[in-house]
Structures are given as structure tokens and as C-alpha cells.
Amino acid sequence: MGPLMKFNWEYIIIDEAHKIKNEDSQTSKRVRQIRSQYRLLLTGTPLQNNLHELWSLLNFLLPEIFSSADDFDDWFDLANKSNESLTDEEIAKKNDDIIK
């Protein structure tokens, strides 16, 4: 990926974008280092299985807004202690409602 880093790209378009939903993967780490004006993700696969994977994709697209996973969790109240009394099914429904 070294030579790609030398340029300021106008666009980065990633097909099979679900491959970068884990921000710790090598692919995800490398594409985040490429400078660009605009970014577009293409995929036919469900984008995320949980809110953290959604954050990872949003962080790639808009890193200035979605810079912190902890802030994202706070925005959506995922770490709220009141969730401890909910069943897994209720938490899943609450997360689905937040995403919608």
C-alpha cells in the first residue's frame, strides 16, 4: 500500500466494504491511512451485525464526526447501567430501534 499513500486522492471507493467493518483488521487500518476528499462504500452484504461495526464504517466515512467509539457508545447510551436489567432480546430490540 506504500505507493498509494503518496497521493491525495479525490475519491476512495471500496467494493466489498463489509471487509473493513472490523477497525482492527489490516485492510481497515491501511485504507484509513489513505488521504482522500470523498469516500464511498459499496457492498451487497449486510453492513454490520452490531453498533460497533456500524461505528467502524461511519468512522471510515466521516472520521471527523465519528472519531471515538466510546463517544459513539455514549451517544447511543449502549453503556448505560439500566441496560443490565434488560434481557438479551430486549437489548437487541433497543439496539435495532436505535439504528433505525
Q: What is the pLDDT of residue 18?
A: 86
CATH at 32: 3.40.50.10810
pLDDT digits (tens, 9 = 90+) for 11-64: 999 998 888 888 899 989 999 999 999 999 998 776 567 788 888 899 999 999
Q: Tell me how many degrees the CA angle 85-73-66 measures, rounded to the nearest 5.
A: 165
Q: Which domain holds residue 52?
A: 2-99
Number of domains in the chain: 1
What band does 83 get if pLDDT is binned at 50, 70 and 90?
Answer: low
For the record, the C-alpha cell of 68 comes out as 471515538
